[in-house]
A and B are shown apart, each in its own frame.
Chain A
Amino acid sequence: MELQPYLLLSAITFVIGVVGVLSRRNAIIVFMSIELMLNSVNLSLVAFSAFLGDVTGQMLVFFAMTVAAAEAAIGLAIIISMFRNKQTVNIDDINILKW
């Protein structure tokens, strides 16, 4: 099994995710980018795990998935409470607190 293509794909999706978090302004899209990052981590873990013939990596993926779900749920809840306060999900409008 060749490892490189999987790692390359994982690195590319991870970078897309990071760039999305840093550049997007809509909080929901930011969270989608974070999910993309976590999923690219899962991909690289599964690839390593299959390459090495060792299932511990896949075990970590199970936990990473649940953690990602919990994070998404809490993120959504916070965005809703934010939206009720300010009627916006745009991160640029979130600016009471600064330096």
Chain B
Amino acid sequence: MVDQALLSLAKFLPEITLAITFCLALLVGVIFRSRPRLSMWVALLGVVVSIALTIREMGITESVFSGMIAVDPFATFFKLIVGSSAIFIFLFSLYSAEVLSTMKRLVEYSSLLVAMTLGMYLMVGATNLLMMVLSIELTGLSSYVLAGYTKEASDSSEASLKYIIYGALSTGLMLYGISILFGLTGGAMDIYAINRALVTSPVNPIALLVASLLIIAGLGYKISAVPFHFWTPDVYEGAPITITAFLSVASKAAGFAMLIRFFKIAFIDSSAVGLPAGIWITLQGFEWNKIIAILSVLTMTLGNLVAVWQNNLKRLLAYSSIAHAGYMLMGLAILSDKGIAAVLIYFVVYMFMNLGAFYVVMLVSNKTGSEDIDSYKGLGFRSPFIGVSMVIFFISLAGLPPTAGFIGKLFIFASLLDAKWIWLAVVGAINSVISLYYYVRVVRNMFLRDPDENSGPLKFSVPEIVLLLLLVVPTLLFGLYYSPIVDFANASARMLGVH
């Protein structure tokens, strides 16, 4: 058993690196108390090393720690997404007035970000109910604290309290669902064993439905799907912008990875024969993809409709990120590898455009101290480069060519039409049109309205601009030259134990 654990450790290096980095960042922080930035550099270095180690794991498909965690292309893909957004967040933090204003807590900030990244690394590979619960909790507990990081601001601690109450409630629901599933399948914790048990001996469909709904509640909270989204706008508005950006990209990615893996492995009819390659079907008498489709319609419609009324840009982006979760859920509902690959493509694109939009909000609020859409009046003239970048991100978020967002939507809709889900595609298209309205509203504010009298041009430092370019260029480039991410996503849609 010890030998096996040692073998597993060799496939577990990215996570170990992050765990050690977490401890080191804390230790460095309390030993060199006069230099809090040091622990941020340690944390950044640790995340970079963990990404390098993840890249080395590409192509491996293996189960480690006696079936607790899968190391497969699917997990590796999401680890890269989570890791690279963590690096972006660390770089953002170096220029965030909000974060740097509380210098003495920088140690906790950086180490908790590492802990959160570690939690997500575990989430994307978890193949056991126990591991799923623990990794969700590790991610959740670190993010609750981070959401209240600027604790002098009372909306920040309010966001944190709301976050933990909703979080704890949904974890409780999910755990209850897990306990029911555990009983139904005769004591199976491994998701492959659950699938075997469900396929060989049919169980009470009502109980299975209840259990899966409860589990969806826990995961839906992580990806902020309606009706488990109530925390999202408040937390996104109250938390520091860097954390908001991280939650909206990485946390969502990890939640999606877990949702897709769990449902695709546990709840499909793996005994079915004669299916075309890349298509799967649900368990008999339990069509969970209908539930996912309904969730996706609710999520995108509510997200887009409510976003129209927002005046705070962070809140607007919160609702827009809810809507994006809806688009991505469509890819899961159609039960095909093509749909999963489309979701993965969407995530690559979403990472760049969403992080970019939040980064611009952060830069502007650094200078103006406001996140109101009104304060963006004439931004296009006060700082043309920032204005144009924001327009690019918004065009991409709305899904128009020639940006990467268009490619993301294109593949989702193509796979929907391929699987004959016409009505869902129509709903999605209508939603895209609605979303155009509120994105254009901000753009209009930036370019078609004059700035206030006493506001001069905004100046940004060279590193800040370089960082922005790192996000703008991929958003444009992947809109034109997308075959690499498509190939990468197609190769990454493969999971351990699924043929």
A interface residues with partner B (beta carbon < 8 Å): 3, 7, 10, 14, 17-18, 21, 27, 30-31, 34, 37-38, 40-41, 44-45, 48-49, 51-52, 54, 56-57, 59-60, 63-64, 67, 70-71, 74-75, 77-79, 81-82, 85-86, 91, 94, 96-99
- In angstroms, Cα B134 to Cα A70, docked, is 12
- In angstroms, Cα B233 to Cα A57, docked, is 36
**Chain A residues in 8 Å Cβ range of B157:** 78, 81-82, 85
A74-B164 CB under 8 A given contacts A44-B176, A63-B133, A82-B158: yes
Q: Closest 7 A-B residue pairs measured CB to CB?
A: A54-B187, A37-B172, A48-B183, A97-B234, A85-B154, A52-B187, A41-B175
Q: Is the beta-carbon distance between B133 and A96 smaller than 8 angstroms?
A: no
Within 8 A of A (CB), among B129-187: 129-130, 133-134, 137, 141, 144-145, 148, 151-152, 154-155, 157-162, 164-165, 168-169, 171-173, 175-176, 178-180, 182-183, 186-187
Q: Is the beta-carbon distance between B164 and A71 smaller than 8 angstroms?
A: yes
A81 to chain B, nearest CB (A): 5
Q: Is the beta-carbon distance between B161 and A82 smaller than 8 angstroms?
A: yes
Chain B: number of interface residues, binned into ranges:
35 or more
13 additional A-B pairs beyond A34-B168, A63-B130, A99-B233, beta carbons within 8 Å, are A21-B165, A34-B165, A52-B187, A67-B171, A70-B137, A71-B171, A75-B164, A78-B144, A78-B148, A81-B157, A94-B161, A97-B237, A97-B238
**Chain A residues in 8 Å Cβ range of B151:** 81, 85
Q: Which of B155, B160, B168 has the most CB of A within 10 A?
A: B168
Sample (21) of A-B pairs whose CB atoms are under 8 Å apart: A7-B183, A17-B172, A18-B169, A18-B172, A21-B169, A30-B165, A34-B165, A37-B172, A38-B172, A41-B178, A44-B183, A60-B133, A64-B175, A74-B144, A75-B164, A78-B164, A79-B161, A81-B157, A91-B165, A96-B155, A97-B159
Q: Say whether B306 faces chain A, with CB atoms less than 8 Å apart.
A: yes
Q: Is the beta-carbon distance between A27 and B161 smaller than 8 angstroms?
A: yes
Q: Which of A40, A51, A85 has the most CB of B within 10 A?
A: A85
A42 to chain B, nearest CB (A): 8
